[in-house]
Amino acid sequence: MGMSQEKDGGKTPRIYYSFGDYGGSNGKDANRTYSGGYAAIERPRIRFSRDEIKHLALATVVLTIAFSFALSRPGWITPSFNKEFLLGVLDFMPAAFAGVVTAFLLHELGHKFTAQRFGLWSEFRYSMSGLVMALFVSVVFGIVFAAPGAVYIGGSVNKRENGLISLAGPGVNIVIAFVSLPLLLFVFANTAFWGQLFYTVFFINSFLAMFNMLPFGNMDGKKIMSWKPAVFGITLCVSVGFVVAAFNIVELYALIMSLL
């Protein structure tokens, strides 16, 4: 989710991708000035280029459509693409949009803003092939498997900075899940529209946090575990707990109501 170089390791800069890191780079972008934006290494402050805003917007729109298709169909049943099905897709679009903005967009911005706080150049770029794949799989199979792009980070970081940048993404997801769960259970449980919306926000954020905490490859979890194993363990356990709660939300609600 960012391209960085550890100061004490002398490693080649790498690109960390959204929704799970899956690639690498020779670091050519580390000191690049993009046509729509700003120089790579400047004093710490939050800023966006025009190109980055366009990339974030397109990725958000495509993922919203993908999640709308996935949420509107029961499992692996092949859709008929009739009027009723398409109206169902539109019905789920507000919840899908809320889930994508809170889970994908804020996750990526968490990485970006933390990197910029350390004085690093940081911008999101979408992957067209990843977006096309996400849309295709959601329409055909009713699931979302997405590698929509990457937050590119240019500059050198130490292990602590790399760990904090990595933690920022799933950390944002956990905070949002933590806030949305009580709202779902105690405020919007009996309202169809808002209940659906807050459940979607809770589920997508919980699952994305857990997925990114896997300690493999270039995932956030591996970098966090390398930095502070205790932080990794706590973050992983919390995210897994939220995912379990999401899959058993009806039983959780019944249990809580029985205790009140």
Q: Which residues are catalytic?
A: 108
Q: Of 259, 236, 252, nearest to 181 (Cα)?
A: 252
Q: Tell me the CA distances in angstroms from 29 to 32, 89, 104, 151, one per residue in order.
A: 5, 39, 23, 12
Query: Structure tokens of 47?
Result: 């800023």
Q: Collapsing DSSP states into helix, strand and coil, what is residue 255?
A: helix
Amino acid at the residue 195: G
Contacts for 191-198: CB closer than 8 Å, 24+ residues apart:
193/94, 196/92, 196/95, 197/94, 197/95, 197/98
